[in-house]
Structure 1
Amino acid sequence: MKKFLGVVLVLLLMSIITGVVFAFVFDSLQSADVPAPTVAEPTPTTVTQTRIVFEERSIADVVQSVKDSVVIVRKEVVNFNESRFVGAGSGVVYREDDEAYYVITNAHVVNGGNKFNIGFTELQQYPAELLGFDNDADIATLKILKSDITNGEKLVVAKLGNPKDLFVGETVLAVGNALGYGQSVTKGIVSAVDRDLGGRKNAAYRLIQTDAAINPGNSGGALVNAAGEVVGINTVKIASTEVEGVGFAIPISAGEHIAEAIREKGYFPRSFLGVTVRNLDLNALLQNNYPLGVYVQQVVPNGPAAKAGIQSGDLILKIGDTEVTDSADLVYEITSRSVGEVVPITIYRDSVTMEVQATLESNENYRGQ
C-alpha cells in the first residue's frame, strides 16, 4: 500500500513540474518579439467594366458637316425638245475625281426620267448624267461635271461610316429633300439591323431599320450617325395605318460597292453560283437527322457550282462562315460578294459534310440559264 501511494505522489509531482515548465515557456514565447502568424486575406478582385460612351455632337453640328454632301435629284422627261418635271428625290456625293463628282441615289428616284439635275435648292440646279442603275438593288449613280458648277458652289464628298458598327438604339439622322421642299432633317434611332423585306429579288444586302421619318423625296438621301458619317442610303418607308415609324436604309458599304460597279461598267454585275434551291421543312430535316440547309434542285452545267463539284440533291449548309438557313440567305451571301471571289461552301451529301471551293462568276455570262 505504501508502495502504491509513493507511485501516485511521484506522478502527481511530475505533472505539477510539467505544468509549470509549459506555462513558463508559453509566457516566454508570448513576451518575445516573435511575429504572430499572418493569415493572408484574399486579394480583392477588381472588375473592370468597359462602358461604351456615346458622345453625340449637337444635331446642328452634324447637319453642318453633311449639308454640302446631300443634294436634290430632280428628274424630267424630255420629248421633242419639251421638258416635263416628273419628280425629285435625294442623293449623296460619295466620290470625286479631277473631272467630276459622283452621286449615289435610289434607282426608283431616277426611273421614268431621261434628264437629270442636282443641286441644293430647286432654284440652283446643275446637269447630271445618269451612268446606270440597278432596280433590284435600288441603286443608281449620277455624274456631275465640276465645270458645270457655277456661283462658287462646291459639293463635298461625304464621310462614309461602317454600318457594321451600328447598334440598336443608336441615334441617327435622315437628311434629304423631304416632300420636295429642299433639304430637311429628321431624327430617330436604329431600330434594327440586318433586316430582310419579303419580295426583294436578288437582294445584295440587308437593310437598316430606323424610326427616323423617311418622307417622299427623302429617298436616296443620307442616314447619318452622330459622328457625321453616312451609314446608309434612305430607301423605303412602310406606309400603313397599322404601321408607324418604320423606315429602311441601304447600308452604305453595299450601296457604295454597287454604285462603284455602275460607275465603272454602267451596270452592277451580280455574282452567280449557278444553282436552283428550295427550302425544306424544318420538321422533315429533324426527323431525318439532316442538318439545316437548303436543298439543291438543279445545277447549271459548267457553272461555278458544277465546277466546284456541287450536285443536285446536296444540302448547302454554309457560305463561308455564314450558315444558310433558307434561300434568302443563299441569295444574299452570293450577290453581296464580288465576281471572281473564291468562296468556301459547306455541303451535306450522303451523310457526309464536306467543303468545296467555288469561284463566283458574273450572271452576265449565264443569261437565260
Structure 2
Amino acid sequence: MTPDPGGEAPLARIPSPTAPSGAMIPSPLHWRTVCLLEVVSIQWIPLCPWTRTQQVSSSGSGFIISQNRIMTNAHVVANAIDIRVRPHGSPRRFAGKVRTYGPDVDLALVEIEDSVAEDFWATVADAPRVELAESLPALQETVRALGFPTGGRTLCITEGVVSRVDSIELTPPADTTLVIQIDAAINPGNSGGPVFDSRGYVAGVAFCKDVRSSTDNIGYVIPAEVVRTFLDRCGKARECYTLSPSVPYRWHKLENQSLRAAHKVPHEISGVLLTSVAPFLEGALKVSDVLMKIDGRTISDDGQIELRGHELIQHRYLLRNKGIGDKTTFTVFRDGQK
C-alpha cells in the first residue's frame, strides 16, 4: 500500500445531458452493430456432476466492438453449447463461441467461428464500431436501449432517462457493482444490448430489471467504465481473464455514538470501523481501524463517498473497479492517530 498523498481526488466529471441539434442518436448505421444472440445451453448440476439438465434455448443481445469482438452479458452465454449470431438487418445466422467469460461483472465476449468469420464481417462491413463513453451519464440524460427483447425478432429501441447511479449486489458468482438505473423499457432479450447516451456513445450494457410487483420502470445498465475495466482484465491471451477484486475487509457503520465512544473515535473523524481484514492486508490494515479515505476520497460514517457533485455511492465501488496493477491508498485512524 502506498502512503496517503493527501487531499481529495477529483470527482467524476458530469457530462452535458444535451444532444447535438437535429442529430439522430444513435445513427441507423450504429444499429447495424447490434446482434441477436440465440443460445442453446445445458445446466450442470453441482451436487450431481455426472448429470445435466435438458438443453434450453434462450436469446439475448450483443453489439460489435473493436478487434472483431461482440460484447454481451455473461448470463446470456452461460453454459452455452451453441451460439448463433444474427446482426441487425441480416437474415443469416452465424455460428459463434465464447471468447471471454466474466461472471464477476456479468460480461462476456463472443467471437465468430473461423469457418464463417469472413462472411460475417463482410455482412457488417458498413457498420461503424461503437465507442464507450468516457464518463458516467448525467442524471435525467436521455438514453436509448437497443436490443432484441421479447415481443418480436426485429431490433427494438426504447428511450428513457438516467434515474440514478448506484451500486447493487448481484447474484453470485457476480459481486456488488456500479450500475446506472434507467426508466427505458428493459425486457428479457435486452440483456447484453448497448445503451447509448445523448452524444452517441455507449453509456453501458443493459443487463437486468427490477421485477418486483411494487416497482415500475427500473432497468439496470453496467456502465462503460466497468466494461472498459473488464476489457483491460481480458489480457492478450484469449484464455486469460483476471477476476475483479473483492473488498478485502468487513466493516461496520460508525453512526452509533456509543460505538464511536467505545473505540475512542473523535467527532471530527468520519469513516467505517473495520471488523475483519483479509490476511494479505494485515500489514496495512488492522481490525478496529477506522477507514477514513480510499485514494484520497473521504468515507462518511455510513460508508458512502461522493461520486460527483452531491451524488453518493458506497465506497466499495472504488475497490471493485480497480484495474490490474492499480495501487490503492488507505487512510486510517488508529490508536488516536491518522
Deviation at 1:158, TM superposition (A): 1.1
Q: Which residue of 1 aligns with 2:308?
A: none
The correspondence for 2:183, drawn from 211, 222, 231, is 211
The residue type paired with residue 143 of structure 1 is: E
For 1:148, what is the secondary structure of its paired residue? helix
Instruction: Write 1 or 2 for the structure with the bigger share of helix.
Output: 1
2:326 equivalent in structure 1? 341
Match of 2:84 among 95, 98, 117: 117
Which residue of structure 2 aligns with residue 16 of structure 1?
A: none
Segments of structure 2 that go 5 or more residues without pairing to the other structure are 1-15, 44-53, 305-312
1:50-65 matches, within 5 Å, as 54-56=18-20, 62-65=26-29
Aligned residue among 272, 293, 298 for 1:318:
293
2:97 to 129, 148, 152: 129
- The alpha carbon displacement at 1:316 in A equals 1.4
Give the aligned residue type for 1:271: P
- 1:137-216 equivalences under 5 Å are 137-144=105-112, 148-150=117-119, 152-154=122-124, 156-164=128-136, 166-179=137-150, 181-193=153-165, 195-198=166-169, 203=175, 205-216=177-188
SS in 2 for 1:231: strand
- Structure 1 alignment gaps of length 5 or more: 1-51, 354-369
Distance apart, 1:75 and its partner CA:
0.9
Residues 53, 232 of structure 1: alpha-carbon distance in 2 compared, 3 angstrom cutoff = closer
Q: 2:244: which partner in 1?
A: 270
The percentage of counterpart residues that share the same residue type is: 21
1:279 aligns with 2:248: no
CA change 1:61–1:316 in 2 (3 A) is: closer
Give the SS at the match of 2:75. helix
Instruction: Name the residue aligned to 2:39.
Output: 75
The alpha-carbon distance between structure 1 residues 67 and 163, as it changes in their structure 2 partners (threshold 3 A), is: same
Which residue is equivalent to 1:12? none
Query: Relative to structure 1, is the Cα distance of residues 77 and 342 closer, same or farther in structure 2, using a 3 angstrom cutoff?
Result: closer
Equivalent residues of 2:133, 2:201 under 8 A apart: yes
Q: Bigger radius of gyration, 1 or 2?
A: 1
Letter in 2 for 1:184: C
Q: CA deviation at 1:238?
A: 0.8
With normalisation by structure 1, the TM-score equals 0.69
| Offset, 1:310 | 2.1
1:150 is paired with a residue of what secondary structure?
helix
Q: Which has the higher contact order (CA 8 A, sep 6+)?
A: 2
Q: Deviations over 1:55-100 (max 9, x none)?
A: 4466755241421221111211489xxx95610101121212xxxx
Larger CA deviation: 124-133 vs 287-296: 287-296
Q: Deviations over 1:12-50 (max 9, x none)?
A: xxxxxxxxxxxxxxxxxxxxxxxxxxxxxxxxxxxxxxx
Paired residues for 1:35-54 under 5 Å: 54=18
- Would the aligned equivalents of 1:318 and 1:347 in 2 still touch at CA under 8 Å? yes
Q: Is the 8 A contact 2:104 2:244 kept in 1?
A: no
Aligned residues: 289
Match of 1:26 in 2: none
TM-score normalised by L of structure 2: 0.75
Change (3 A) 1:57 1:250: farther
